[in-house]
A and B are shown apart, each in its own frame.
Chain A
Amino acid sequence: MPQYVLYVEKNTFLHRLDPRTKVFLVVCVFIWSSVFNHPLYTGFVLLSVLSLVFLSRTFSQLKLFWFGLVSLALMSMILWPLFRRGGETHLATVFGVTFTMESVMYGVAVAFRLVAMVLSGLVLLTTTRIEELELAMTRLGLPYPIAFGFSAVFRFIPTMVGDGLTILAAQQARGVNIAGGNIFSRLRNSAAIIVPLFITTMRRFGDLPMAIESRGFVPLAKRSYYLSIKMRAVDFLGVAVLAFLAALSIYLRLNGFGVVFPDVI
């Protein structure tokens, strides 16, 4: 089976942290990188996240994502100078659109911000099991049926993707053209994939309500868990440091540090 889940089994500091601490880390990266819009500051946040990637020894797992991350960064560097107008320092005029030094710097700052955020999410996903994440979400107050559904979807995804790819092959083998032709015929033909996948899935799940209810599943009941997660001293320390840094970054921003455009995020 091809691989779907990003988690890599390793025994590093980051793997051992409580999932809630890591969720908080992701939130803090959002805060740190969002309060600044100067490339030096967001660049520093990005470097910190990159060092976490190295610490978690999941670098090789991320090879599929570099292309996307680079495109995301490039998109930001091109789009923001076009839409975030402002600044004094004239840089160039192309086809009647003027670019300022500030708007270009803002674009670079946001590019760093985006990559830092995506990477922090990836650090969470590569160092945390889905079951731990699910448990963390229920502990953080997410209603159980959603958390249950969330993890159920995760468990069934390999089956459903497998079904989907087989259906794709089955239909292509009898001449359904999905890979070529014009947009309209390709979209029309994709119904030949979606309908069998839907019906296969419904048949597979037809017995599910009965199966889970016969095992004593009551959607909104209180429950206990086999897997347990525990905040240890190192987690509390981690959360404290992260919170302090978040507070510090907000304080810096309020005092005018780390911004190209003071009026926007």
Chain B
Amino acid sequence: MWSHTQMITAFIVSAGLYAALLFVFAALPIWIIPGVTAIRPGNAIPPFTSLLFGPAAAWGSAVGNLIGFDILGGALTIGSIGGFIGNFFLGLVPYKIWHRLFKEEPHCRTASSLAKYEFVVLTHSGVVALIIPYWTELVGFVPFTPLAFIIFFNELISAAIIAPILMVLVYPRAKKAGWLWTDVMKGYQYTPTEVKSYHRLGAALVFFSGVIGLWITILVGLGLGQALFFGPAVGFAGASLLAVGGVFILIFAVGMALLARD
């Protein structure tokens, strides 16, 4: 994608929009737990730019979060690496699933288009809530369980409510104006003409790891199922959690690899 100047513009717009909105809405926090965690309307940007700009939005979300949250917010730490990777997938998963799986357009103007879009939003929220906390647990930064909880709901609530409204208002215009990623990167299909079975399997694996796998890992973090899998003698929830979460991340990687295959 880097050989298209227009994709680089799309990358700058998705990153800038994400970073700027994190900044603008920081002045008006919608608190869930006052002082601890707030819903960020900016979280609706990755699934929105993803379906418009494709791969440019994946890099855009990663860099936008790095600038808006880590650098301007002064939170540049080892956790930022996990944030970068997690946000990359926030921008990657939605368009990847869509252009492999759904023949309908993501205009969100029919119940079925909306339902597919919400499925994508749910999946991408689960994926990021698995990846970032796994990293912070791995490097001894923030424990997995509470962070996974917070990230999952923060991402899901904003994106599930705002992103479809954005799609209704912007998608038809972007299509008419020729802003979609497939307008620039010729040779790719915005929606598939036929759905291949390994793409279906890939999407299923991504959904399974991101949504079901996430919750199993959270339960392990809460101490449930430990005795079942590891016997009663394990001292740290950390070890079993990393093992279980690691398996789901592997499944996720396999799913993404299948989706990437032509």
Query: A contacts B directly in the complex (CB < 8 Å)?
Result: yes
Q: Is A251 an interface residue (CB 8 A)?
A: no
CB distance from A236 to the nearest CB of B (A): 24
Q: With A118-B75, A179-B28, A264-B238 as known contacts, state yes or no: A202 contacts B59, CB within 8 Å.
A: no
**B residues less than 8 Å from A86 (CB atoms):** 235-236
Known: A30-B78, A220-B2. A37 touches B140 (CB 8 A): yes
Where chain A touches its partner, the secondary structure class is helix
Kindly state whether residue A265 has any CB partner on chain B within 8 Å. yes
Please determine whether A157 and B161 come into contact, CB atoms closer than 8 angstroms.
no
Known: A187-B157, A191-B162. A197 touches B77 (CB 8 A): no
Q: Considering only CB atoms, which chain B residue lies closest to A201 in the complex?
A: B13
CB pair B59 A146 closer than 8 Å = yes
Distance (Å) between the CB of B129 and the closest chain A CB?
16
Which residues of the other chain, A, contact B19 by a CB distance below 8 angstroms? Answer: 153, 157, 160
- Assess whether B30 is interfacial by the CB under 8 Å rule: yes
- Asked if B146 lies at the interface with its beta carbon under 8 angstroms from chain A, I say yes
Complex contact B74–A150 (CB within 8 A): no
Residue-wise interface mask of A (136-161) relative to B, using a CB-CB cutoff of 8 A (1 in contact, 0 not): 00000001011011101110110011
Check if A77 is an interface residue, CB within 8 A of chain B.
Answer: no
- A23 CB → nearest B CB, Å: 10
Contact of B67 among A84, A118, A157, A197 (CB under 8 A): A157
Asked whether A160 and B74 contact (CB < 8 A) given A85-B237, A153-B12, A213-B5, the answer is no
Contact-residue size bin, chain B (C-beta under 8 Å from the other chain)? 35 or more
- Interface-facing stretch out of A9-17, A204-212, A227-235, A238-246: A204-212
Interface size class of A (residues with CB under 8 A): 35 or more
Contacts of A186 in B (CB 8 A): 30
Instruction: Report if B239 contacts A (CB, 8 A).
Output: yes
Q: In whole angstroms, what is the CA distance A62 to B235 when docked? A: 40
Tell me, in angstroms, the Cα distance from A60 to B19 when the chains sit together: 24
On whether the beta carbons of A264 and B39 are closer than 8 Å, the reply is no
B-chain residues with CB within 8 Å of residue A59 when the two chains form the complex? none
Complex: A79 Cα to B134 Cα, angstroms = 15
Which residues of the partner chain B approach A264 to less than 8 Å between Cβ atoms?
A: 140, 236, 238-239
Contact (Cβ within 8 A) B17 A188: no
Q: Are A205 and B9 in contact (CB under 8 A)?
A: yes
Q: Which residues 208-245 of B have a CB within 8 angstroms of A?
A: 221, 223, 235-239
Q: Give the residue of B2, B144, B169, B179 whose beta carbon is less than 8 angstroms from that of A219.
A: B2
What residue in chain A is nearest B63 (Cβ atoms)? Answer: A150
Are A149 and B59 in contact, with the CB atoms below 8 A?
A: yes
A195 touches B170 (CB 8 A): yes
**Least Cβ–Cβ distance between A162 and chain B, in angstroms:** 9
CA A80 – CA B77 in complex, angstroms? 18
The answer for the CA separation of A198 and B71 in the assembled complex, in Å, is 22
Known: A85-B235, A125-B76, A188-B162. A150 touches B67 (CB 8 A): yes
A226 close to chain B: CB less than 8 A: no
Contact code string A51-89 (vs B, CB < 8 Å = 1, else 0): 000000000001011001001000110011011111000
Task: Contact check, B12 vs A149: say whether CB atoms are below 8 A apart.
Answer: yes
> Which residue, of B48, B165, B179, has the highest number of chain A Cβ atoms within 10 A?
B165
What are 17 A-B interface contacts by the 8 Å CB criterion? A6-B72, A68-B75, A85-B223, A121-B76, A122-B76, A124-B76, A146-B59, A149-B59, A154-B67, A191-B162, A194-B48, A195-B169, A195-B170, A197-B21, A202-B13, A217-B5, A263-B236
Binding site for A on B (CB under 8 A): 2-6, 8-9, 11-13, 15-17, 19-21, 23-25, 28, 30, 35-36, 39, 41, 44-45, 48, 59-60, 63-64, 67, 70-80, 138-146, 157-158, 161-162, 165-166, 169-170, 173, 177, 179, 221, 223, 235-239
- What 3 pairs between A and B have smallest CB-CB spacing? A121-B76, A83-B143, A265-B140
